[in-house]
Amino acid sequence: MRIIDLLHPHLDGITTVVDATARRGPRLERYLHLPPGVELSHHEEDIDAGQLVVMSYGPNPNLHGDEAACLAVLERMRPGGRGVILFGHRGTELTYHRLLDHLVTHRCQVLRVSVLGYTHLQAGAVFACTEELLPLHDWFGIPAPSDGFATALRMAGECVFSDFVSRSLRARTLDQECTAEETARALDGARSDGTAEQLAAMTRERAQLASRLRGARDRVALLEARVAMLEASTSLKVGRALVATARSPRREMVRLPGELYRMWRGRGPGMTDRPVPPAREPDAVVSDSRLYLAHRALSSAPRERLVIGGVLSDGTAEDFAAEAVVNRLLPHDGLLLLERTNPDALVVQLSACSDATGPWSLTGTGLVPDLDSNLAQLITQARALGRKAVLWRDAPATGAPGLAHFDWDAVVDTDTGVRLSRLDPVEEGRTGLWEAFQHNSIRVRLAQLARLTGSPNPLDGRRIAVLAAPRTETDVARLTDQVLGQMHRPAEVVVPDQAVPALDELTAAGVAVHAGEPTAPWVADWTDLSVDRPDTLLLDLMCAQEYSGADAVGHTPADDDYAFVPELRPALVRRSLHLADAPADTWSREGYRLFAVRWKEMA
């Protein structure tokens, strides 16, 4: 919620809004967007009927103001005056008890409290100075019809119920804090006696020894191959015959011509007078185990995509590969592939183990101990590499109960998501596609994994930059309304240098505002601020792009909907295509994919 959403429903009968916030705080005129007939003032006189005062209070006195400043404003309140308190505290940390007694002392009734969507202002409360009990306001700022006694009963009942709920939450919080303290003490104890460090060192040493052992086996295999090659060569056999003749000339001299003749008659591919090519060095030899290595993908630093080493089903691996780098680990090459690719996370899908088919079928059931052992080695190797082992529990745990006994770093209890390109827009409808895009898509599921592992977030591919050029205060207010009203909010707004300071509210709401070139993967041109843009515009465009994989999304004069077209009026363009600065009518001929979509005001 924005400040205007909290404030404007309470401007009936108000002619003056008094700014009593901290001097170093935000400039309210860029947040309020007052309607005609309501002026902004900074006077320090009494707040009477027809006036509304705005003050702030928070943990940073220089930015939000302190308690003493709020009390000084309350001293100026007179019956009929109204006020808004902007809090810098988060909702769970709101120190309202420090002001509530003072509000009651000065006959001020709190009418409404809401969460604000800014980085430095977290909540806001509307109050009025009154001589009688006023009706409360609902979520939309509309007074609930009731007389004073009914309002008092409602407030008393809500106070009792909220106290009951808050006591339960406080008890749960205390239990969690006690558990966290005990865990911290246990970890400190483990660190003090060196158990954790010793275990980590032993794990690393084991991984190093296993790597050295594999190298030694490779060298032994090379030497054995060389010995076998030499023993089968003609030169060695002739040399042995000559040495035997030299040691026993009388006996072997007679047999030498016949033996040499048999060598000549029985020569084969390994007995030839042609020179034998030199053997490769040990480092260039590929061992038998690596001959099975299906090296599907490799991501070298710096990584821009999530890299997964997974025990996955065929369908899940294919879907995940559209949004991340996926290497499927098989029982015979899993350790080698895990070591060589160093993924961000080892992901084990429960349905891939409980399924009747597949290389990891029956893992965790106790019926195939070798597969359980291989999986345990994968988890150990992932720990040695400093990566997390994640169990993706997308099926009932009874299908592979043994997986619960492994030492997982995290467990994801949800399905693997849906790939938008597999949906039917006609069957699902536009609302169904939006729901899948926001809550059930593959990117959303992989974003959960990325947060667990601290890896690149796939949702960064949905970031949009809006290009705009506001010239007047009306343009600034319109741009702010359109940007903050979007259901899929843009990540940045690119404007000329002189327009950056005027968009403080966007910056406070978490939208980056800067001049220059856009940095987000997608660009939307909103330089024409006279166009009415629905709140679902960017959501619809981004959803259509993810469904189609197109390079540009827009509409056509023929109103084509969810179809590839040769030409369109672009509304969302890939950043690289935008920077190429090529005419839109040439995009299709240059190989770019164009996808048409109709949004709400066209339907």
The three-state DSSP-derived secondary structure of 188-253 is: HHHHHCCHHHHHHHHHHHHHHHHHHHHHHHHHHHHHHHHHHHHHCCHHHHHHHHHHHHHHCHHHHH
Confidence of residue 267 (pLDDT cuts 50, 70, 90): low
Looking at the predicted structure, is the pLDDT value of residue 194 above 90? Answer: no
DSSP 586: G
Whether the predicted pLDDT of 556 surpasses 80: yes
Mean predicted lDDT score pLDDT of the chain = 84
Predicted confidence at residue 161, as pLDDT, reads 79
Provide the edge-to-edge strand list for the sheet that holds 492-494.
512-514, 492-494, 464-467, 522-525, 569-574, 552-555, 594-596, 563-564
Asked if 297 and 317 touch (Cβ cutoff 8 Å), the reply is no
| Structural domains in the chain, sorted by start | 3-145 (3.40.50), 204-289 (no CATH), 296-421 (3.40.50), 459-602 (3.90.550.10)
As beta bridge partners, residue 125 has: 85, 113
Q: Measured between alpha carbons, how far is 490 from 484 in angstroms, rounded to an integer?
A: 8
- Please enumerate in sequence order all residues whose Cβ is within 8 A of that of 539, keeping only pairs 6 or more positions apart, or say none: 434, 437, 438, 486, 487, 488
Q: Report the range out of 12-26, 149-163, 290-304, 488-502 with the highest average pLDDT.
A: 488-502
**Closest to 572 measured CA to CA, from 530, 510, 521:** 521
HSE value, Cβ hemisphere, 13 Å, CA-based, for 296: 18
pLDDT digits (tens, 9 = 90+) for 425-443: 989 988 999 999 999 999 9
Asked which of 13-27, 99-113, 364-378 is least confident by mean pLDDT, the reply is 13-27
Condensed to tens digits (0 to 9), the pLDDT of residues 293-338 reads 444 555 455 678 899 999 999 999 999 999 999 999 999 888 989 9
For residues 414 and 48, what is the distance between their CA atoms, to the nearest angstrom? 56
| Mean pLDDT confidence for 232-245 | 71
What's the pLDDT at 278?
A: 47
What confidence tier does 251 reach under pLDDT thresholds 50, 70, 90?
low
Rg (CA), the chain: 36
Q: Which long-range contacts (CB under 8 A, 24 or more apart) does 253-257 make?
A: none
Query: So what's the pLDDT on residue 154?
Result: 76
Has this prediction a pTM greater than 0.85? no
Residue whose C-alpha is closest to residue 484's, from 514, 450, 507, 516 = 507
Model confidence at 139, pLDDT cuts 50, 70, 90, reads low
- Burial-class residue 37 by CB neighbours within 10 Å (0-12, 13-18, 19+): exposed
How many residues make up the chain in this entry? 603
Q: Does residue 523 sit in helix, strand or coil? A: strand
pLDDT of 421 over the 60 cut: yes
- Give pLDDT, residue 272: 44
C-beta of residue 412 within 8 angstroms of C-beta of residue 392: yes
